[in-house]
Amino acid sequence: MRIGYGRVSTRDQRPESQHDALTAAGCDEIFIDKASGKRASRSQLDKALSANRRGDQLVVTKLDRLRRSLEQLIELSKQLNTRGVDLVVLDQGIDTSTAVGRMFFR
């Protein structure tokens, strides 16, 4: 299953563009947070992560929608890897279900 996650942080950003991109990428479920990236608690991200099972993919439009710092991103990547969940980043063509994606991201 493909689980999509997006985040918008200001009134100028429209969640529809991320939702549309995630839908076009074949996501079965989509979760969108409307909160600043600095905020540690993101209820929709928590739901997206809980919905993922071994063999699933977490799909985001951009890495900065997922986590703000490299340290947080590395930690999340480790958690996904341990759970057997792959990460797909649409704007950078990263897909950790492929050998190239694993080499690039892990």
Segment holding 86, helix H or strand E = strand 86-89
pTM for the predicted model, two decimal places: 0.89
Q: Which two tokens stand for residue 4?
A: 């999509």
Q: Do the Cβ atoms of 62 and 102 come closer than 8 Å?
A: no
According to the model, what pLDDT value does residue 10 have?
Answer: 67
Average pLDDT over residues 52-65: 94
According to the model, what pLDDT value does residue 38 have?
Answer: 62
Count of the separate structural domains present in the chain: 1
Q: Do the Cβ atoms of 75 and 65 come closer than 8 Å?
A: no
Lowest mean pLDDT among 32-41, 59-68, 80-89, 97-106: 32-41
The CATH number covering residue 94 comes to 3.40.50.1390
Q: Which two tokens stand for residue 64?
A: 């900065």
Q: Do the Cβ atoms of 55 and 29 come closer than 8 Å?
A: no
Q: Do the Cβ atoms of 61 and 6 come closer than 8 Å?
A: yes
* R_g of the chain, CA atoms, integer Å: 13
- Supply the range of the domain harboring residue 93: 2-105
Catalytic positions:
9
